[in-house]
Every structure is written in C-alpha cells, then in structure tokens.
Amino acid sequence: MISAEILIVGSGPTGLWLALELRRANIDVLVMDSITSRDARPTYSKALSMSAGSLATFASRGVAQDFIDAGLALHKAHFGGLETLLDLNYDVLGTRHSHNLAIPQARTEALLLNRCEEAGVKFHWGLRFQSLCQDQEKVLVSAEQLTVGGELKLEAKWIIGCDGTHSAVRRAAEIPFEGSRSSIAGMLADIQLSETPETITISRGSKGGCMMVPLGDGVHYRFVGLFKDSIMKPLYDEPTLDEVRECMRDGFGSDLGAHSPLWLSRFGNACRLATSFRTGRIFLAGDSAHQFFPAGGQGMNLGIQDATNLAWKLALVLSSKQDGAFVERILDSYTAERRAAAQAVISNVQAQTAVLMSHNPHEVALREVLCESLKNQDLNALWARRVTGFSEPRSPYCLHTDSGKIDAEDQCDPLVGTRITHVGFETERELFHATKLDRFVLLLRNTSQCDKAAEIEELHTICQRWADRVTRLSSSTFSSSHQWKDVVAVLVRPDLRIAWVFRRQESLSESSATLKSVLLRWFGNREEFAPDTE
C-alpha cells in the first residue's frame, strides 16, 4: 500500500502545477501516470501557447522566468482566425508580462517537472489507474503496474483526476461528461519551413482557413488548418505531409517549403463539461473536467487556473479544524467557480469555431462585421482579456451576499472577484511573498498618506479574529486604472483574486460588516482569537 495526503492522476501541465502548488504548503503529494518513466514522456506538444493569465499566475509564484526564457513573447492573439488581431499590452491586461507565450506543451511540462522534483513531489511512473472507492476518511485506488506487472493499491485523503478528456477517474467517479460530439475536424502539424513568416500568419482560401504560428525554438512552426474536405475524415486518421502542403497552398498560395514534420494530427470541435468537478473526496481538473475546440490555446491555461483554485482550497481544508459543513462549503466553491469559468470559455470557443468555419455569403459577411468591430479599442481589449483568462465570470463565492447568490452583484464593488491587475507596488514581489495557500492578505494601500487611519485599525482588529488566516500588508501602490481610484484596502485570496474592497467614501460600519461576512465564509467562526468589537 502506497499512501499520500493528495494523489494526482496524470502528469500533464494541470497535474504538475497542482502538485507544485500543494507542495508550497508542505502537503504530501504523489503523482501517478501510465507513462513508464520520466524520459518516456511525449516529445510532441498538443498545446502551443501559454496565456498571459497563466504567465501572471506563474509570476506570482516566482517561476515565470523559466518559461519566458524558453518561449517567445506574443503581443498579439487571434479571435476565430480573424485578420484583426487582439492587442496584448499592459493597458489591456495590467500585468508585468502582458503577453502570451509561444511555448510547446512538452517544454512547459519539462520545466514544471523539474520544479516539482526540486520541491519534493513524489512520482510513480508506469501506473495505469483502474478503479477507486471512497469513504468519509480516504480514497482507495487500484492501479495496474505496467512495467513489473500486477496490481498496486494506493491510499489518499483526496484524489484529483488530471488524466485528460478520456479520464478514467471521471468514469470511475461516475461524473457525467455532457455536451456535443465533434462535427468537424481540423489538422495540426508541427513542421519546418523553407519560407519562414515572422509572426502569426492567418489566411483563407477556397476550401477554408489556416494559420501558422512559430513554436519559439526558431526552427519549427505549428500549422493549423480547417477545411471543408477534412470534415468527413475520422479524427484517428493521421493526416499526411502532402495533405498539409495542399491545405497550405490553398490558404497561403504556397506550401512555404514545409518539411520534416514532428507531429501530425487531427482535432475536433466536441464541447463537453463535467456536471460537477467534485464528488466527495474525488476532484477533476483540466481536460478531465472540460473539452472544447482548441481555439487560441485556452484549454491548457484553463486547467492551470483550475489547479490554482483547487490547491489553496485543499490546503485550507487540510490545515483547518472546522467542521464538515465548513469543508463542504469551501470545496463546493471549486465546482461553482471553475465550472462557470469553463462555460465562459466554451461559449467563446463555439463563437470562434463558427467564425473559423464561415463559408456561405451570409457567414462571410458576419465575419467581416466582426473583423471590423475588433478595430474598436474597447471591444478589442474586452476580448483580449477574455481569451487570456482575465475576465472570468464572478462566482457567488467571490461576493459577500449571505445567500451566496449574485442577486446583489450590481451593488458589489467591481473589483471583487477579479484578479489583481493594473496596480504596481513599491516593492514588486512584496504581495507575492505575503501570499500563502492557506492565508488571505489584507492589503492596505498608501496608509502613511491616508486619512482613514482609525478605520484601517478597526479593519485590522476584525481580521485579528482570524490572525492565523490573514496577513496584514501595508504597501505604497500606484495605478492609472479608474477601478482602483479611492481604494484604501483590499482582501486578497491565495489565487490573487480580490475578495473584499474598502474605498475612501464608504462607511466603516458597512465595510466592516462585509469584511466579517467574507472572513466567516472562507474561514468559519473564529471567536477565540479576539472578542467581538461590536
């Protein structure tokens, strides 16, 4: 019997990032995978890019430079292959690294794997998940040992399935995976070119559309093609290099001297979503929880945000002495927040798929209207934030209504539920250093110049009731964004989302009440730390 606090099935980007996050809280983590050894990992890459949203998450943990050094900055993104590209910059995204990154998934996984090994994450290779059973205390897993034969038993407090769209964990947990089957098929090819484009190239021909993106190594390019003739071909039928060249000639007018393919594949537009991301002690994250057409490389990045969300909630529960109702509330918030985020991505992906497949005159006309619309700076910025992961729907768990419903959202501060962006710090990493997986941060802005000293102390006194869960941080900050005007204090979650805001013009009594409500929701009743100030 092998045991760990957390068992992760699958060592893709989602599983590796989840394991690395959990180790930040010194949690005992074991990752198992059917890959027979570390060196037997695939060299081809499904995902091509890393979004600015994931890069910002990695920056908050001090590991972003690993990926930046290994990739290529992309200051443009596409929406549905439209010729009008989305602009990525600080004014739009508000983070230090306000750009996407061209980096193959295999390279991303290798860098994460190195970090995991340095952090002490345990790995067990050559294990194929077979079955599980759970009770109120633990999960028992049976796995086939592919290299030595026989069966191995594993035990953990919690198990997370990060094992892809055909997830064996999801099937064993009997969680429905609902949605639509593929109705079209596109082609992917990682190839070398004799005629090399300088940046992302998008074009359309008589049969459909295609795109060429540099892979960041200065040698290889990713070709993406979507053509009428490919619709009826099965996804398991690997395309040939000649077929790819034909598509390129139709779309670009030249095959650009394509040669030496690393990987050829087809993909579909199936959209599926797990009805829940959790049942008892079993969780789903990444592709095991959601599947959709690869428009803009949002799949891997959505999975990384799943992992970021789940890690701090598991860390909070594992370090808490609260009762079952508290645990259920915290862990149920994972499904509520991440399922809503996945639904939003599926919606924009389906819109992009419709644009990509436009062929009839009325469809082409709509495409031209959208292309023109994206020349509007505000609309361009809106969609840039959405496809890079900075405009996810606000969950009831981010708000401070007692019912947990967004019936008072119009009265909620616009920053609540959003990621911290468009604000600079006197010392760049001071917030990141203060962030722990099982603690929130009470960030007090420019307090030496503030006329709210008494109110700030009152807010700090409230937080003292949860002294082991809230870190106070006073910092000189600056922002050109109107949303940060008059902000005196914010409460920041471990995933750098804002849970509560206090502005200069607000009354102390109302702000104190909402702060207490937020702290009670996430940490439960902690009267033992300080007497009630009321």
pLDDT of 59: 94
Same domain, 109 and 139: yes
How much is the average pLDDT of 180-192? 86
Does a structural domain hold residue 509? yes
Residue 10 sits in the same domain as residue 113? yes
* Residue 127 falls inside a structural domain: yes
Specify the CATH number for the domain of residue 155.
3.50.50.60
What residues contact residue 296 under an 8 Å CB cut-off, 6+ apart?
49, 77, 78, 79, 349, 352, 387
364 and 358 in contact (C-beta within 8 Å)? Answer: yes
Which residues lie closer than 8 Å to 366 by C-beta, 6 or more apart? 355, 358
Q: How many separate helices (H) and strands (E) can be counted in the chain?
A: 14, 27
The pLDDT score that the predictor gives to residue 325 is: 87
Domain hosting residue 120, numbered range: 2-48+104-180+272-348
111 and 98 in a common domain: no
H/E stretch holding 6 reads strand 2-9
Assess if residue 247 is contained within a domain. Answer: yes
Q: DSSP 3-state assignment of 402?
A: coil
- Label residue 230 by pLDDT band (50, 70, 90): low
Distance CA 424, CA 484 (A): 11
Q: Encode 395-430: b = buried (16+ Cβ within 10 Å), e = exposed.
A: bbbbbbbeebebeeeeebbebbbbbbbbbebeeeeb
- Give the tens place of pLDDT for each residue, 91-150: 999 999 999 998 888 899 999 999 999 999 999 999 999 999 999 999 999 999 999 999
Angle (nearest 5°) at CA 56 between 52 and 62: 140
**Which of the listed residues 238, 268, 298 is the one where a domain comes to its end?**
268
**Contacts with 242 (C-beta within 8 Å, 6 or more apart), sequence order:** none
Tokens of 140: 């028992």
CA dist 160 → 40, 177, 480, 531 (Å): 23, 16, 40, 39
- Mean pLDDT in residue range 271-280: 97
In 10 A of CB 7, how many CB atoms? 29
Cβ neighbours of 98 (radius 10 Å): 22
Q: What percent of the chain has pLDDT over 90?
A: 58
> Which tokens hold the place of 55?
């890069």
More confident residue, 296 or 179: 179
Q: Are 217 and 326 part of one and the same domain?
A: no
- We report the CATH number of the domain holding residue 486 as 3.40.30.120
d(CA 492, CA 503): 15
pLDDT at 528 over 50: no
Residue 294 covered by a domain: yes
> Is 485 found in the same domain as 458?
yes
Q: Are residues 312 and 224 in the same domain?
A: no
- Paired with 147 in beta bridges are none
Q: Is there a domain that residue 140 lies in?
A: yes
CA triple 296-298-300, angle to 5 deg: 130
* Other Cβ atoms within 10 Å of 366 Cβ, number: 14
Cβ–Cβ under 8 Å, residues 302 and 180 = no
pLDDT for the residue 500: 94
- Report the pLDDT value the prediction gives residue 144, as an integer from 0 to 100: 97
Q: What is the DSSP letter of 45?
A: -
Work out the burial of residue 332: count CB atoms within 10 Å of its CB; fewer than 13 is exposed, 13-18 middle, 19 or more buried: middle
Please tell me whether residues 175 and 207 are part of one structural domain: no
- Asked, for residue 23, whether it belongs to a domain, the answer is yes
Read off the pLDDT of residues 188-228 as tens digits, 9 standing for 90 and up. Answer: 899 999 988 877 787 877 777 788 887 767 788 889 887 66
Residue 58 belongs to some domain of the structure: no
**Domain assignment present for 22:** yes
Query: What are the two backbone dihedrals, phi and then psi, of residue 134, each rounded to the nearest 5 degrees?
Result: -135, 155
DSSP state of 118: H
**Mean pLDDT (whole number) for 425-442:** 85
pLDDT digits (tens, 9 = 90+) for 284-332: 999 999 999 887 779 999 999 999 999 999 999 999 877 788 899 999 9
Say what the pLDDT of residue 447 is: 66
Residue ending a domain, among 289, 320, 348, is 348
Same domain, 160 and 277: yes
3-state secondary structure of 96: coil
CATH number, domain of 263, equals 3.30.70.2450
Q: 218, 261 in Cβ contact below 8 A?
A: no
- What tokens were used for 408? 């008072």
Residue 529 has pLDDT above 50, yes or no: no
Sign of CA dihedral 155, 133, 333, 341: positive
The sign of the CA dihedral 493, 496, 501, 504 is positive
What pLDDT shows up at residue 234? 65
Domain boundary among 268, 283, 314: 268
pTM: 0.91
Report DSSP letters for 170-228, one per residue: HHHTT--EEEE----EEEEEEEE-SS--SS-EEEE-SSEEEEEEE-SSSSEEEEEEEEG
Buried b (16+ CB within 10 A) or exposed e, 123-138: bbbbbbbeebebeeee
d(CA 516, CA 524): 10
Q: Are residues 404 and 507 in the same domain?
A: yes
Domain count, the chain: 4
Q: What is the pLDDT of residue 475?
A: 85
SS3 305: helix
Beta-carbon contacts of 305 under 8 Å, excluding residues fewer than 6 positions away, are 53, 54, 57, 338, 341, 389, 392
Percent of the chain residues past pLDDT 70, beyond the cut? 92
CB 13 within 8 A of CB 300: yes
Token match 């079952």: residue? 324
Which residue is it, tokens 């405009």?
391
- DSSP type of residue 161: E
Same structural domain, 175 and 193: no
pLDDT band for 400, please (50, 70, 90 cuts): low
Would you say residue 497 has pLDDT above 80?
Answer: yes
The Cα 146–Cα 332 span in angstroms is: 35
Would you give the DSSP letter of residue 160? E
One domain, residues 508 and 369: no
Are 185 and 202 contacting, i.e. CB atoms less than 8 angstroms apart? Answer: no
Shared domain check, 142 and 16: yes
pLDDT in tens, 331-342: 999 999 999 999
Q: Both tokens of residue 365?
A: 């006309």
pLDDT band at 407 (very low <50, low <70, confident <90, very high): very low
Going by DSSP bridges, is the β-strand pair 2-9/29-33 parallel, antiparallel, or unpaired? parallel
User: In which residue are the tokens 């059917």 written?
Assistant: 34
Q: How confident is the model at residue 448 (pLDDT cuts 50, 70, 90)?
A: low
Greater pLDDT, 111 or 360: 111
Answer yes or no: are the C-beta atoms of 124 and 31 closer than 8 Å: yes
